[in-house]
Structure 1
Amino acid sequence: MSQRVSARAYARMRNVSHKGVLEAIQSGRLPSAVKVGQRWEIDPAQADREWSQNTNVNHHKSKAPRVVAEPEDSSLPGLNESKAEREYYLAKLAQLDYEERAGQLVSAEDVRVTWFSHARRVRDAILNVPIRIVDEVRAIAGELDENQRHEILLCLQRELVQALEELAGPEELPPQSQS
């Protein structure tokens, strides 16, 4: 058994604060510490073993600030630049979230679905025009046999489909993102 030392002396030996040693004693991490009167006496060899077994070194802050090594690749941004960029984008996301909740923004997917639904209704209404008016054309033009009626119907449908295809043109909305 080694010679016992005070808690303050043991703190100097471990290069930790006196308060840190007292907290270790009170939390039960140094069970071999003995209270003599008002002070604690500690067997340094035994306490070192208990300290290493019972103390999570990653849990406690060290007095020296951690130094983060800069990456060797100079194409990577520095830590401060990365943090600033991260904060910038977090602020932009917060702004978008606020604007969406305030009703100033709508979901792009909601716009696509609504637009598609309206466009389909317009297309269907236009493509149904020939079927609805072919008999009126027949009445105006006079007696037509079924073949002539059918030819008029096909002609109207062909022209309306061509007009709709021209209106559709290239896709005007950006493609849906794959997220």
Structure 2
Amino acid sequence: MGISIRAYAKTRGVSHVAVLKATKAGRIPLEADGTIDPAKADAAWQRSTDPGRTKSKPKAPAEKLRPIGEAALGSVRETLKEQGLPAGGNVTFVQARTAHEIAKAHLARLRLQRMKGELVDRARATALVFRLAREERDAWLNWPARVAALIAADLGVEAHAVQKLIETHVRGHLAELAEIRAEFR
């Protein structure tokens, strides 16, 4: 047999309305006779209470806090690991809130960098790199025709043969460079 809602509220240090709301929301169980088992209710209250909304610090260790939904666990763990924080099996509400605050700080920093003009648009950067690479390639393709006669004169050989030889080596080198892919992440 348990105690009444008002008695439990008094032992918990909250209003009876808070206990009523918790029972209606299903956060703490009621016994069959409508009373409350204090041990069960305390455990349920601890699991389902947001520690950020309590007036006092939580007395239970972080492992006993309510775990968050499965959909957000991957994102929370990744954010915590990026910051060098522990992200074990069960992610607690405190860890999720920490990850959320980290993400908000990252967004604020990105907005500030964008306003300062420090961020570069990925599409524009890709187009610029592509244009510069094309100009560089075209310059190299035209180079053998410009220097072949000069090299041939220095060596005392036929200019056409020198030009063909240089073009072959330049195209080979450009083919190697074409395998390099720029990725902007």
Q: Calculate the TM-score normalised by the size of structure 1.
A: 0.45
Higher relative contact order (CA 8 A, sep 6+): 1
Q: Calculate the TM-score normalised by the size of structure 2.
A: 0.44
| The structure with more radius of gyration | 1
